[in-house]
Structure 1
Amino acid sequence: MEDDSIPDRDHVARYCRGGSIRIDGKVSGVAFQLRPGEEYLSVDWLEFLNQESRESQIARLRPILERRLKVGAKAQIAVLNVGEAKRAVRSECPDGREVDFRHKPLKDAPSHSGIFGCAHGEDLISDLLARIISQTFPAKAVSGVQG
């Protein structure tokens, strides 16, 4: 249901533009910064996609992202565990900040969700989220690989 909290055991995926990928290939905190006019960070709830493996979740997510975004060749999809992200922010933010992960489905993207509690221009949370990425995948399917 819309606006439901995502369980701590579940995972979300964030589309990370090529410009947010460091020289070493890792996603930088820039990928988790709010843009002007945004009230939350857009992510997709992977377990909502009802696939059996992480690879099949990502394969199912790619066409959803392509309908919403211009997917760049260097872009990546970063995966975060919801509970781990909440704990990291709570324990490392001096003000004891809480972030919340809520389901915000769109017509063409039923898995669309948001990370609430991030602030504009705040590097601490964005850097924390980048640091706890559990996996990354190319945002575009690799040629010759079924997805």
Structure 2
Amino acid sequence: MIVDIDDADHVARYCSPRKIKEDGTPAPGAFRLRDCDNCCLSVNWLECFRGQSIVDNILHVRSELCQHHELRKNGRLAVLNVGKVKRAIKITNKLDINVKRSPRNNHRSHACIGGYPTNNNEVAMTLSEMVGVDDMYNTTS
């Protein structure tokens, strides 16, 4: 069932090592839509797991992602607040994006950021600029 994620909640985006800048933050390429993405950026909804903290939920997301993807040890998970993302994109890019839960088989935290075209580099830039070093989490324990 596809439903909107609350503005107070968080999503995480896996960033491969080549999409992480020297300062430890994600490059815009980590948030750029590819033509094959069906106009949706895959992320993981952290509060799906109802852990005591973001770190608890990151552990669950990592475990779930490992079942579907090869997570590189130098890769990172970039965490974003849903409401802040929507407001920032509205202000800087004049777009009403959406963040929806989109569970798949054995991937219950899967979610999508949608509502922007594949060729919109400005949105990718805005998203990357929202993530600080403290919002980046290891993909391995």
Instruction: Pick the TM interval, shorter chain.
Output: over 0.9
Equivalent AA in structure 2 for residue 60 of structure 1: H
Identity of aligned residues (%): 30
**Quick check: which has more Rg, 1 or 2?**
1
Name the SS for the 1:113 alignment partner: strand
The TM-score with structure 1 as length reference comes to 0.90
Give the equivalent residue in structure 1 for 2:98.
100
Q: CA RMSD in A?
A: 1.1
How far has the Cα of 1:133 moved from its partner?
A: 2.0
How far has the Cα of 1:118 moved from its partner?
A: 2.4
**CA deviation vs aligned residue, 1:70-126 (integer Å, no higher than 9, x gap):** 111211000000000000000011xx2111000100111101000011221221101
Whether 1:111 and 2:116 are equivalent positions in the alignment is no
Q: Which runs of 5+ in 2 are unaligned?
A: none
Q: How many residues get paired?
A: 138
- Where in structure 1 do 4 or more consecutive aligned residues deviate above 6 Å? none
The TM-score with structure 2 as length reference comes to 0.93
Equivalent AA in structure 1 for residue 78 of structure 2: A
How far has the Cα of 1:26 moved from its partner?
A: 1.2
Q: Which runs of 5+ in 1 are unaligned?
A: 142-147
How far has the Cα of 1:61 moved from its partner?
A: 1.0
Greater displacement, 121-130 / 84-93: 121-130
